[in-house]
Amino acid sequence: MPAARFPYQTCATCRDAAGGDVPAIEIDDLCVAYSDGPELDAVRGLRLRVPAGTHVAVVGPNGSGKSTLLKAIAGAIPAHHGTILVHGQPVAACLHRISYLAQRSEIDWRFPVDVTGLVKTGRYVHLGWFARPGRDDDRRVHAALDRVGMAALARRQIGQLSGGQQQRALLARALVQDADVFLLDEPLNAVDGETRERVGEVLRDLRRAGKTVLIATHDVGRLEGDYDAALFLSDGRVVPAPHEAFGGAEAAMVTAAAG
């Protein structure tokens, strides 16, 4: 795929730099907090190592730091302290390898844009300044909408979708970014059965394609079987699994410890 001529942020080395053994995500002693807000939802001294191709659930109650962790890895908020490496590169170095699916509440759904337009913004990271989406971008957008079962609603204004449909539109946008690491913030929160099913299918696709996935949820009950490991957060720190659903075998895949 041709690189953007005027990228929003240049990245020189990333595509070829990833060697076989480099973990997809490597976090050391990470501290993140919003500058002014309450101490809620901060991350305090977190260490994490996620091998490429693993699917990890990030579990914890509201305010435990799940969203903050994902945002910091995505580069949406800066780290106060510590390091984050994505495929061996600092966060800002290769933004197009990361696909971040925000919570629904962070988008202005009344804005006059249709589903296709929303999904197309997932291609912008490859387009950069001045370039317009082309035929190839349209094709990818269409395929992604098909995958999440939203092709019939492609022309609908985003505010006229149900919660589950909005979530699937966002998932389609995450897919067209063509990334290696997927950070999904509560994609299963308050959605309908069809959306759950579609999200499950997409996750299986991603696993087959060898993509790394971090998925935040507070819905522990539905995790079993779908993930390689779970990371339990409480008050910004990693805590042991609260019940027996996750045995010691998974812990070997992801090594995490409170700092």
Partner 1 sequence: MSLLLEPFELGFMRTALVAALCVSACCATVGVYVVLRRMAFIGDALAHTMLPGVVVAYLGGVSLLLGAALAGVGTALGIGWLSRRDALREDTAIGVVFTALFAVGVLFMSTVRSFRDLSSILFGNVLGVSESDLLAIGVVATMAMLFAIVFHKELELTSFDPNHARVIGLRPERVRYALLIVLSFTIVAGVQAVGVLLTSALLITPAAAASLLTDRLSRMMLLSVAIAGLSSLVGLYASYYAGVAPGAAIVVTCTCLFGCAWVLRWMRSTRVGRTSAFPSGR
**Residue numbers at the binding site for partner 1 (CB under 8 A):** 7-9, 35-36, 74-76, 92, 95-96, 98, 100, 102, 106-109, 111-114, 117, 121, 124-125, 127, 129-130, 132, 153, 155-157, 159-160, 173
Closest CB to partner 1 among residues 53, 128: 128
Report the distance separating Cα 136 and Cα 214, nearest Å.
28
Closest CB to partner 1 among residues 27, 230: 27
3-state secondary structure of 256: strand
148 and 172 in contact (C-beta within 8 Å)? yes
Closest CB to partner 1 among residues 160, 255: 160
112 and 157 in contact (C-beta within 8 Å)? yes
To the nearest 10°, report the CA torsion of 203, 147, 9, 68: -40
Closest CB to partner 1 among residues 30, 256: 30
Shortest distance (Å) from residue 178 CB to partner 1: 12
Burial (CB < 10 A; 0-12, 13-18, 19+), residue 128, is: middle
Shortest distance (Å) from residue 59 CB to partner 1: 22
Residue 91 CB neighbour total at 10 angstroms = 18
The residues, any chain, with a CB within 8 Å of residue 153's CB and separated by 6 or more, are: 115, 161, 165
The residues, any chain, with a CB within 8 Å of residue 164's CB and separated by 6 or more, are: 191, 192, 194, 195
Shortest distance (Å) from residue 115 CB to partner 1: 9
Shortest distance (Å) from residue 76 CB to partner 1: 5
Closest CB to partner 1 among residues 64, 67: 67
Shortest distance (Å) from residue 50 CB to partner 1: 18
Closest CB to partner 1 among residues 65, 133: 133
Shortest distance (Å) from residue 237 CB to partner 1: 25
Report the distance separating Cα 121 and Cα 143, nearest Å.
15
